[in-house]
A = this chain, B = another copy of it.
Amino acid sequence: MEGTLDGGVVRVGGDARQRFYDSSGYGRPDGAGVTLAPVEAAHLLFRDDLDAVDGMGLREFLAATNCVVRFLVYKDFRERGFYLSPAREGRVDADDAHANTDLVVYPQGNGPWDDEIAYRVRVVGERAAVPASDLGDSVLAVVDEESELTYLDTSRPQMAGSTDYEPQTGIAADLLEDRVVLWDPPQNLYERAFYGQRLAGRGATDGPLQLSLVEAAFLAREGVLTIDGGSETLVERGRAVEGERFDRRLAVYATLRRSGLVPKTGFKLGADFRTYANVESVENLGHSEHLVRVLPPDYVFGPRELSLDVRLAGGVHKRMTFALTDTSEGIDWLAVERITP
């Protein structure tokens, strides 16, 4: 059976509708024939279900149509038992909300004649630039340089916890370079609410408490700490050592604390924060659920750095979560996790 390439699609006549669309969800019905997108035609050529398109076999067809990256993803979903359709040939409504969708994947057992959708997939090579603002309701399929596939599911998580603690106010604090020490802290600030860490180390149950600049700036703005020069002294020190990134991190820290979550440094895991949803005491600390990286809202990911963050978070059973903010307009949360469709 042969097809003809015409205006970016492949037309196949004869009983192609029955053979390709009705029985296996390829293409769009066109009388008794079908219209195929290039990736669909490539897959039928690969399977030897189609003999040629305008005389071309798979080798010539891939060279002529520039669809190899999408073909690899299309083929992978087919091999996993899914039917799917390209989103960009007028086949699936490409409404504004899903303008970046390349492939629409139906639940196993369903096809283009059903309404249900399992995944909206965006296909990129590992060298693509992926704006953070494009993500949140789709699966990013990354084809790496060796043509291995990585699927990253993106979503907009709710960040909420149930940690509840009302600290006393007016605690004296010292600024020492880029950290803060409370020489005579109230007992519960650390033990109950997990602010800072004891100068004497993990085992200690009293004595001076060290705070990060972001912890201290938050507590000072809340009136919990008093410091020479006021809370803005801490914010200024933060800006001096981190630039405007400090303001973004402080905004995210404050939002997390006010949402009942406890953010602690994510340094050992290469992130800004790890978060605990419900701290009753440091002694009985649960597992931290999110790894948070703070980014400006116009941030553009490289797939490789995304792969790094997501792989590390997965390895320690946390959810990689990006906090996108310019501090003035609230925070957009973006969770990314690796999936196997």
A residues near B, CB below 8 A? 46, 59, 62-63, 66, 68-69, 79, 125-127, 142, 144-148, 150, 174, 176-179, 181, 183, 196-197, 199, 201, 210-215, 241-242, 264-265, 267-271, 303-305, 307-309, 311-312, 315-316
Which residue of B201, B242, B269 is within 8 Å of A307 (Cβ)? B269
Decide: B127 and A178 in contact? CB cutoff 8 A. yes
- Of all A-B residue pairs in the complex, the 8 with the closest CB atoms, nearest first, are A270-B308, A144-B267, A145-B212, A146-B265, A147-B210, A312-B312, A315-B315, A68-B176
Please state if A242 and B127 are interface contacts (CB–CB under 8 Å): yes
In chain B, what residue has the closest Cβ to A267? B144
A307 — which chain B residues lie within 8 A by C-beta? 267-270
Give the one of A179, A201, A242 with max B CB within 10 A: A179
| Identical chains in the assembly | 2
Main SS of the interface on chain A? mixed
Whether A305 contacts B270 in the complex (CB less than 8 A), given A68-B179, A316-B315, comes out as: yes
Check A178 against B267 for contact (C-beta < 8 Å).
no
Query: B66 touching A268 by the CB < 8 A rule?
Result: no
B183, B241, B308: the one contacting A312 at CB < 8 Å is B308
Assess the A267–B148 pair: CB atoms within 8 A: yes
Contacts of A268 in B (CB 8 A): 144, 148, 150, 307, 311
Expressed in whole angstroms, the Cα–Cα distance for A56 and B66 within the complex equals: 74
Can you list 18 pairs linking A and B with CB atoms under 8 Å apart?
A: A46-B199, A66-B177, A125-B177, A125-B178, A127-B178, A144-B268, A145-B178, A145-B179, A146-B196, A146-B264, A148-B265, A267-B303, A267-B304, A269-B307, A269-B308, A269-B311, A308-B309, A311-B312
CB-nearest residue of chain B relative to A245?
B127
Measured in the bound complex, the distance between the Cα atoms of B63 and A174 in whole Å is 8
